Amino acid sequence: MDARLTQLPDHPDATEPEPFAGPDNPMRMMTRAKAFGEAWEPSDSSRVQEIFDGMAASWSESHVDPVKAAPVEDALDRGGLPLDGHWLEVGSGTGAGARILEHRVASLVCSDLAAEMLRHAPDIAPRVRADASQLPFPDRSFNAILLINMLLFPAEIDRLLRPAGAILWVNTLGDQTPIHLPPFDVLEALPGAWTGQTALAGTGFWLTARRA
Ligand SMILES: C[S@@+](CC[C@H](N)C(=O)[O-])C[C@H]1O[C@@H](n2cnc3c(N)ncnc32)[C@H](O)[C@@H]1O
């Protein structure tokens, strides 16, 4: 493995995900293309918004399980993250991440493109409806940014993160997650030089990344 990325031991409960979304999955292809510079068009935004607005009611019931929480919990335990800082969750959906972060970080703002997803999220942190390609926050607002199964907009993450800040990237079904990028590719997609730590937990993995 590249020296920029440190692989920590697997969490004892880590297991292989069942086959779900392979390399040809359209969301997978979109995730890679947008992370590596393809323009995010208004038509992309409308299409993704429509998909997730339509899934919001069922998502809020089916995406709160402990297996999904496991990589986030593990990263908070051993990823060296700034728990006392200001956190932003991007693509926060119906609040799977917020439910975990609620009692663990000092301050949290959730953001998502899909109004219906946000409407189904618990009222435990401010919820901001916004497109992650252009978020309504000043430069360097956050000590940490969480993305769970979410598209990566590298320039915007770089703009919003404080100099010593960290991102937490989680794919809860590992390489079977539809919105998936492996850890090293996340480091490569971000502007400038970054280092990371990664581990398997639950059926997924987490990556914490900081500027080198
Ligand atoms: C796969 S879901 C994950 C939701 C949540 N993180 C979870 O783990 O349950 C992806 C989420 O990202 C949101 N999303 C996708 N593209 C987005 C964009 N450009 N800006 C903001 N949110 C976006 C979707 O609306 C959806 O809620």
Which protein residues are within 6 Å of ligand 1, measured from CB?
Answer: 45, 48, 52, 63, 91-94, 96-97, 112-114, 117, 131-133, 148-151, 179
Which atom in ligand 1 lies closest to the alpha carbon of residue 153? 19
- Using only C-alpha atoms, what is the Rg of the chain? 16
For residue 132, give the nearest of 171, 100, 179 by alpha carbon: 179
**If we measure between CA atoms, which residue out of 60, 62, 30 comes closest to residue 45?**
30
Q: What pLDDT score was predicted for residue 143?
A: 98
**Residue 204 β-bridge partners:** 201
Nearest-angstrom CA–CA distance, 56 and 50 = 10
pTM of the model: 0.98
Q: Tell the residue nearest (CA) to atom 5 of ligand 1.
A: 93
The DSSP element (H or E) to which 99 belongs, if any, is helix 96-101
- Given this model, what pLDDT does residue 2 score? 85
Residue with token string 């700034």:
82
Cα(175) to ligand 1 centroid in Å equals 17
pLDDT of residue 62: 76
* Model pLDDT, residue 204: 98
Counting ligand 1 atoms within 8 A of each CB, the residue from 52, 63, 110, 206 with the most, and so the one to mutate, is 52
Which CATH number fits the domain that encloses residue 44? Answer: 3.40.50.150
**Which residues of the chain fall short of a pLDDT of 50?**
none
Question: Which residues make Cβ contacts (< 8 Å) with residue 203, sequence separation at least 6?
Answer: 14, 15, 16, 17, 18, 67, 70, 172, 173, 174, 176
- Looking at residue 98, what is its pLDDT? 96
Domain count within the chain: 1
Enclosing domain of residue 18: 5-211
